[in-house]
Structure 1
Amino acid sequence: MSQIPFAPDVFTWPSERPQLIGGRCGRCGTTTFPMQSSCPRCGDLGMEQVLLPRTGTLWTWTTQEFLPKEPYASGETQETFRPFAIGLVQLGDEVRVEGRLTVSDPAEISFGMELELVVFPFRAEEDGTEVMSYAFRPLS
């Protein structure tokens, strides 16, 4: 079965140890995710690609209790949809990144918990191609 990333240049993949691809401003040092063509802080066009840390801490989170619409839809229906958790993850001193969590039970989620980046099958195209996305899972 073939697999493709949901968007180009968002994460390194295929990879045993995937990383998100961000940008860093050459002038003021601001880090962004995803990569941007100009710095949101100073407006400089000197953004350079940077690989972000694979691990981080959960800064805040919530649950998605309703079926998402495009482009966030994963192909689920009202009958098959299951709520999931989304978190804002602090990656080192670099940047905070929003992403899906691999755990959904609020009893398994806590502020400050250590997480690591993983790639998972998000949805399937009509031809069976798996579209891959990223998520964060608790470190054991």
Structure 2
Amino acid sequence: MTEVSIQPEFFQLDAGDGRPALVGTSCRSCARRSFPPSSTCSWCGNEQTDTVQLSRTGTLWGWTAVTAAPPGYRGPVPFGFGVVELPADGIRVITRVAVSDPDQLHHGQPVELVADVVHTDEESGATVVSWAFAPTDHQEAR
């Protein structure tokens, strides 16, 4: 079965080491990082940025459960959604949270980047995969 990234410019299924990676940018002027990637620094406005791979580990900052499908969404509900802080990059990322029971989550919980199946494309039959963060004791299930 073929897997495709929901947003290849933001999320790579294999960053060359068999593991997924988020793609961000680093400003050539202030050196701050951003996600999603942008040709303009969201911190200082500089128009020179470089593409970088962001940290795969972080801490859970906030979360909720999405119980009603957003417009255009074709995946299962409920699903976790939240904010993960990537201390090594100095940013917070809005993300899916891959966990079956949101009651098991807590602020500051260590999390890691995983590939999370969203749906199967009806035309191609490919499995569409998004980024998500899961508690570090979570085993990725694709």
Q: TM-score per shorter chain, which class?
A: 0.7 to 0.9
Which one-letter code corresponds to 1:136 in the other structure? F
CA deviation after TM superposition for structure 1 residue 9, in Å: 2.0
Percentage of identical aligned residues: 37
Correspondence for 1:17: 19
Matches within 5 A, 1:28-67: 28-67=30-69
Correspondence for 1:130: 127
SS at match of 2:103: helix
CA deviation after TM superposition for structure 1 residue 32, in Å: 0.6
SS at match of 2:133: strand
Which one-letter code corresponds to 1:3 in the other structure? E
Correspondence for 2:95: 99
CA deviation after TM superposition for structure 1 residue 12, in Å: 2.4
Take 1:84 and 1:13, find their aligned partners in 2: how far apart are those partners? 20
What's the TM-score, normalizing by structure 2?
0.85
Which one-letter code corresponds to 2:97 in the other structure? L
Residue ranges of structure 2 left out of the alignment (5+ in a row): 138-142
Distance change in 2, residues 1:12/1:106 (3 Å)? closer
Take 2:81 and 2:117, find their aligned partners in 1: how far apart are those partners? 16
Take 1:47 and 1:14, find their aligned partners in 2: how far apart are those partners? 23
Correspondence for 1:2: 2
> Is the 8 Å Cα contact of residues 14 and 21 (structure 2) preserved in structure 1?
no
Correspondence for 1:68: 70
SS at match of 1:96: strand
Deviation above 6 Å: which 4+ runs of structure 1? none
Q: What CA RMSD, in Å, does the superposition of the two structures yield over aligned residues?
A: 1.5
Take 1:67 and 1:53, find their aligned partners in 2: how far apart are those partners? 29
Which one-letter code corresponds to 1:4 in the other structure? V
Correspondence for 1:27: 29
Residue ranges of structure 1 left out of the alignment (5+ in a row): none
What's the TM-score, normalizing by structure 1?
0.87
Correspondence for 2:80: 85
Aligned residues: 133
